[in-house]
Amino acid sequence: MRKTLLTRQRRRTLRKFLYTVAILIVLFIAGLFVLRIYAEELTEFAMVPRVDFVEQEALEPNAYQDPAMWFSRPGMGAVNDPSRWQPSYAEGTEPAEGVDEETPGFAVFFVHPTSFTENDAWNARLDDELSQDRARVMVRGMASAFNQASEIWVPRYRQATYGAFLTDAPEAGRALDLAYADVSAAFDFFLESIPADEPIVLAGHSQGGYHVVRLLLEKLKGTPLMDRVAVAYPVGMPISIETDLPELGLPACASPGQAGCVASWASFAEPADTTQYLRLYRDTPGLDGNARTGSPILCFNPLTGGIENSAEASSNLGTLVPEDDLSGGELVPGGVPARCDPTTGVLLIGEPPALGPYVLPGNNYHVYDIPLFWKNLQVDVVERVQAWQPNRPS
């Protein structure tokens, strides 16, 4: 298989995709008002590791044969597999119609978001209990939206810390490369383990979306594997329609039931302050090396299955509202609308819904990108796999 190496500029560009998101998340985690005044300087000081990059021991070539290297994979059983969790509808609400029982088999490769925020290391270790526990919670609330798949694979990986997205230091690039190397190795084993004619769904959120983009660029673009991708969801990644999307090798998911496409969105309640979120996006070049200035980000609307459109709350089949301790949640239909802002490309969701304490400054609902549209996403992925079937490669 041909492998295209990302240039240093591309790695820097991908890293800066999440720069602003990391700043906003840290604002919440730190809980210090002064960070709102000197966000960039103090956030970088607080979160960027001040230690040397330590090259962790390379994983064994067969590391991902070990079931313990996966949060989710076939054979774990519904009780032990967080991605197989199925929420119920809130009492007194009307459940939406389920997905087609004739759903064809498909395999999902999901990369979880960053759950490691420490500044004493550039990468999380696999035995770091706190980050691993957080990751399992994220898998339960996000990867579970894909639970109609015949197979869901969610690898554990030595993720880069949040601080790696706040600096251009060489150590940051090495941290992201290490994390991606784990994801890449897991993806190779995933491909070896699924049927050769089964459609593939790539999905991830935040740092997970970053790694999905790298997989598309390095392992799939220009290869026969791309023909097996029913849809890719690098959710939470600001992807420029003009300078980034053409480089990914797949078009945008512009209409319901379209297969072989990319869907991503960034959720903001109103009034939305996207200044910090979009500033560095506009100041850094796209994947093709050109300036992003004036180019809106890709806005996929999960309520319509298309781009640059709007839908009332009645189209929302079920928002996953988490419990206070995040151990579970319930689906509430008809609560959240969505419309794409034609100027910025962010997805506006109306008045701030009460989902919990993790809303970021500027009414940024990044943490809830997938839970906001949990049931619609569950239906969307099945429809795209069904559309892929007639055009499947021989």
pLDDT of residue 4: 42
Judge whether 31 lies within some domain: yes
Lowest-confidence region among 48-57, 87-96, 280-289, 308-317: 48-57
Tens of pLDDT, residue by residue over 31-60, are 433 334 334 444 554 567 676 767 888 899
Detail the DSSP E strand segments found in the chain: 70-72, 88-89, 107-111, 151-155, 200-205, 229-235, 261-262, 267-268, 300-301, 306-307, 310-311, 319-322, 329-332, 338-340, 347-348
What per-residue confidence (pLDDT) applies to 309?
Answer: 84
Q: Which tens digits make up the pLDDT trace of 153-194?
A: 999 999 988 777 667 777 778 888 999 999 999 999 999 999
Greater confidence (51 vs 250) lies with: 250
- Answer yes or no: is 183 within a domain: yes
- 233 within domain boundaries: yes
Residue at 185 is within a domain? yes
For residues 276 and 362, the answer to whether their CB atoms sit within 8 Å is yes
> 90-99, 140-149, 190-199, 314-323: lowest mean pLDDT where?
90-99
Query: Is residue 2 assigned to a domain?
Result: no
Which of 173 and 5 is assigned the larger pLDDT?
Answer: 173
In this structure, is residue 122 part of a structural domain?
yes
What SS3 class is residue 133? helix
Range of the domain at 190: 8-391
| pLDDT (tens digit per residue) in 259-282 | 999 999 999 999 999 987 887 678
Total-model pTM: 0.88
DSSP codes joined into one string, 302-319: TTTTEES-EE-GGG---E
Residue 2's pLDDT band, with cuts at 50, 70 and 90, is: very low
Q: Structural domain tally of the chain?
A: 1
Does residue 284 sit within a domain? yes
> Could you tell me if residue 371 is inside a domain?
yes
